[in-house]
Structure 1
Amino acid sequence: MSTLLKNAVIVDTTSSYHLQKKDILITDGKLEKIEDFIQEKDHYTMVSLENLHVSCGWFDTSVSLGEPGFEERETLKNGLQVAAKSGFTAIALNANTNPIIDSKSDVEYVIHKAQHSATKLHPIAALTQKSKGIEMAELYDMQQSGAIAFGDYNKPIENDNLMKVALLYAQNFDGLVLSFPKNNAIAGEGIANEGINSTKLGLKGIPALAEHIQISRDLFLLAYTGGKLHIPTISTAKSVALIKEAKQKGLKVTCSVAAHHLVLTDDELHGFDSNFKTNPPLRTQQDVKALQKAVKTGVIDSITSDHNPIDVEDKKVEFSQALDGVIGLETAFGAVNSVLDLSELIPCFTTKPKAIFGIENHTIQENNLADLTLFNPSENTFFTKDDILSTSKNSPFLNKKLKGKVYGVFANHQLILN
């Protein structure tokens, strides 16, 4: 089988074809030819799309799908199809399932279930047993079975010594430890960013301090232990400053930001719409600007959708009772493409996160494996409920204007188009 991509602008700084418009012939899952013009043949599958751009396949570092245990939110099969149609050829699956992914057999189960999908699934196994933060899980065994990192999704490790031991132990097999940036004692029962809006709306606030204290603690521990630490979904200007300083000191720390934190602020809360209830909470315009700058300057290493489907029974309720979380796969590109240049965001979807999590990046060169994302960066779209591919519908970008359109992917010998 051969697939011919016509007039595709290649966006890949690691390729000699960067920013060149080429025809790309894919045969048996490999990039057979990349030339100015390739003659089409009857047995070719032709792909000719408006303003077609092609990059290395995107990798999302924080995706929740529900299965096993919460299939009503999202199944692995549908979630991986959503990821492919959203441009992601690989995802890191969070361990917020039931049962929690905290054993070798759990890791092997989700990998096996996803093996035939175009989008490859890489599990982030729980750092502690049942993600309870009490005893460390069997990290080495899970890594041997395919886990790419270890973290308790959206749950901070409160025990300082446990985090210290995890950072020390993981070094034995070059393991990557994740630490969610939130101090529960400071955050308390807060449900929104502590500030002017939470005060006006009568919502219990989560101080930015809760994020800063946890990050500071983790950086002190990392300086003591060595090893590798990844801090997911930071949300404040001060967090950026703390991580920037740690990097300058030579600590092996990386971080990500969720797409919605690069675009939305807590001004959205005035309608008490629970689709804007996130963890960390939406912050201020000052924080958004600082996060955007941190992506541009390289302090923030990756951008994630932080896709977390929540069923309607747990989301369409009173704001204070609703579960945290938003779906983000379908809107990740369109959201960040509206505030960042392609040259800034594409590395945060490709080379940077893949390097952090140890995933091979397949450069767009002849004879390499075809692992591609297809998109149009310039088309303006209006995101409606009809555009939601996920089973759950908890999107904060409903009825908002996005920039860019994802056509799909070519990955794992499969062409998936919207």
Structure 2
Amino acid sequence: MNIILKSAKIVDPTSSFHNQTVDLHLKNGKIEKIAASLVAEGAQVIQLDQLSISPGWFDTSVSFGEPGYEERETLIHGLDVAARSGFTQVAIESNNNPITDNQSIVSFIKQKAFGQTTEALPIGALTMKSEGTDLAELYDMKNAGAVAFGDYKKAIDNANVLKIALQYVQDFDGLVLAFAQDKSIKGKGVVHEGITSTTLGLKGIPPLAEELQVARNLFLLEYTGGKMHIPTISSAKSVELIREAKAKGLQVTCSVAVHQLALTDAKLTEFDSRHKVLPPLRDEPTRQALIAAVLDHTIDCITTDHTPLDIEHKKLEFDLATPGTIGLESAFGALNTLLPIDVIVDKLTAGRRIFGLPETSIAEGQEVNLSLFTTAGTWTFSKEDIRSKSKNTAFLGESMQGKVYGVIRQDKQTFNF
């Protein structure tokens, strides 16, 4: 690698060059030099319209399917989609077939993804087969490369199992992911319980289903200690509970999905199953409360919650369709219509701290880990913008702002130009 990035605006509050427009010399996987103007013999010069760069983005919740569901997405193709969407690292959920509940599957994912621009970081299941009964091989998976442990979209009904897990992982500084949804309150609900669900005649899922689990899980965390991450929250009350827990000094973090910040249950009027997600799209006051929680940093990070699904599972009657949307390709363009760029970068990189990964900064001598983008320009997300094998996006027809140019990580690069 021998690259000169010309006239790049740096978006990195940890860097002394934050908000400055400079040239960068990248060589052999390192940031060799940063200055107002640079020339290097034999270097590839990259000069892009209104280029901005930031530390590489990290998505804390991505599903690809492989092994077992390659018809939805494969690891190699999915990682290429992630790179072209601006992500240099992604945490891959355990919802494969077989479930990622042992070191062999963790090792398979790591080995299959080796050498790609975007790094794959497996999440191990918290319980065997994600059935919520017996703990999986957590320590062995940690040694094999798992960065956290959680049963994807499944709450742990047995409080004692979660208690033991929180106690056990402290021996090796593990992170427990605790999805929050009370199944008995959810029942057969498929959308947010409110005016829209009543109008459409669809069974509702009240925010209470999430809030009860969040409250219980925080009580357990207070008792056990350890670290807990609550993924994809969708309730204003959940925000309050987490804010109070942080004030007590508990090691709790949380994420919100891009679609919860950008969309509401008003999208459901056409019964389009592309908008069926879990937790469900909430109402406008809740959306505003979640944005406020991002801005005041109660919500630590933003995820795409990228979930590819084949047409057989998605293009069905609304009640029967599987919840989930792809979100990598649309993430930056959607967020750029909602939040300041400094906040976007912070929330797309904070996951490294949460998951115990080395943090990165734009400074001379640092390893290259960069996302390249522009905040300028508006456009509409269309089918042509979908790179994933599965096409189940909730963002079709939505207005976007800014574009991703690509990523550079170590000595590898993937560009959209």
TM range (shorter): over 0.9
In the other structure, the counterpart of 2:410 is: 412
Aligned-partner Cα distance in 2 for 1:84–1:256: 21
In the other structure, the counterpart of 2:363 is: 365
Cα deviations across residues 271-326 of structure 1 (Å, max 9, x unaligned)?
11111000000001111101101011010000000000001111111111110000
In the other structure, the counterpart of 2:398 is: 400
- Is the contact made by 1:22 and 1:35 (CA closer than 8 Å) also made in structure 2? yes
- Alignment root-mean-square deviation, CA: 0.8
**Any idea what SS the aligned residue of 2:116 has?**
coil
- Is the contact made by 2:4 and 2:39 (CA closer than 8 Å) also made in structure 1? no
In the other structure, the counterpart of 1:88 is: 87
**Any idea what SS the aligned residue of 1:331 has?**
helix
Aligned-partner Cα distance in 1 for 2:384–2:316: 22
- Is the contact made by 1:125 and 1:150 (CA closer than 8 Å) also made in structure 2? yes
- Is the contact made by 1:379 and 1:404 (CA closer than 8 Å) also made in structure 2? yes
- Is the contact made by 1:208 and 1:236 (CA closer than 8 Å) also made in structure 2? yes
In the other structure, the counterpart of 2:31 is: 31
Aligned-partner Cα distance in 2 for 1:244–1:362: 27
Between 1:183-192 and 1:31-40, the stretch displaced more is 31-40
**Any idea what SS the aligned residue of 1:106 has?**
helix
Question: What pairs with 1:101-180 in structure 2 (closer than 5 Å)?
Answer: 101-180=100-179
**Any idea what SS the aligned residue of 1:62 has?**
strand
Shift in Å at residue 412 of structure 1? 3.3
Aligned-partner Cα distance in 2 for 1:65–1:35: 40
Question: Can you give the 5+ residue segments of structure 2 that lack an aligned partner in the other structure?
Answer: none
In the other structure, the counterpart of 2:188 is: 189
- Is the contact made by 1:117 and 1:412 (CA closer than 8 Å) also made in structure 2? no
Aligned-partner Cα distance in 2 for 1:379–1:406: 11
In the other structure, the counterpart of 2:2 is: 2
Between 1:120-129 and 1:31-40, the stretch displaced more is 31-40
Q: Pick from 375, 380, 397: which aligns with 2:373?
A: 375
Aligned-partner Cα distance in 2 for 1:392–1:342: 29
Aligned-partner Cα distance in 2 for 1:216–1:390: 36
Paired AA for residue 376 in structure 1: T
Cα deviations across residues 356-395 of structure 1 (Å, max 9, x unaligned)?
0011122111111110000001221211000001000011
Question: Can you give the 5+ residue segments of structure 1 that lack an aligned partner in the other structure?
Answer: none
- When the two structures are superposed, what TM-score results if normalisation uses the length of structure 1? 0.98
- Is the contact made by 2:30 and 2:410 (CA closer than 8 Å) also made in structure 1? no
List structure 1 segments (4+ residues) > 4 angstroms apart after TM superposition: none
Cα deviations across residues 77-132 of structure 1 (Å, max 9, x unaligned)?
00000000000000000000000000011111100100110000111100000001
Cα deviations across residues 22-79 of structure 1 (Å, max 9, x unaligned)?
11111111111111111254x3222111110000000000000010000000000000
- Is the contact made by 1:371 and 1:412 (CA closer than 8 Å) also made in structure 2? yes
**Any idea what SS the aligned residue of 1:247 has?**
helix
Paired AA for residue 39 in structure 1: V
**Any idea what SS the aligned residue of 1:330 has?**
helix
In the other structure, the counterpart of 1:254 is: 253
Cα deviations across residues 324-367 of structure 1 (Å, max 9, x unaligned)?
000000111111111110121211111x2110001112211111
Aligned-partner Cα distance in 1 for 2:413–2:173: 34
- Report how many residues are paired: 416
Question: What pairs with 1:185-334 in structure 2 (closer than 5 Å)?
Answer: 185-334=184-333
In the other structure, the counterpart of 1:356 is: 354
**Any idea what SS the aligned residue of 2:7 has?**
strand
**Any idea what SS the aligned residue of 1:5 has?**
strand
Paired AA for residue 25 in structure 1: H
- Is the contact made by 2:28 and 2:410 (CA closer than 8 Å) also made in structure 1? no
Aligned-partner Cα distance in 2 for 1:60–1:280: 18
**Any idea what SS the aligned residue of 1:333 has?**
helix
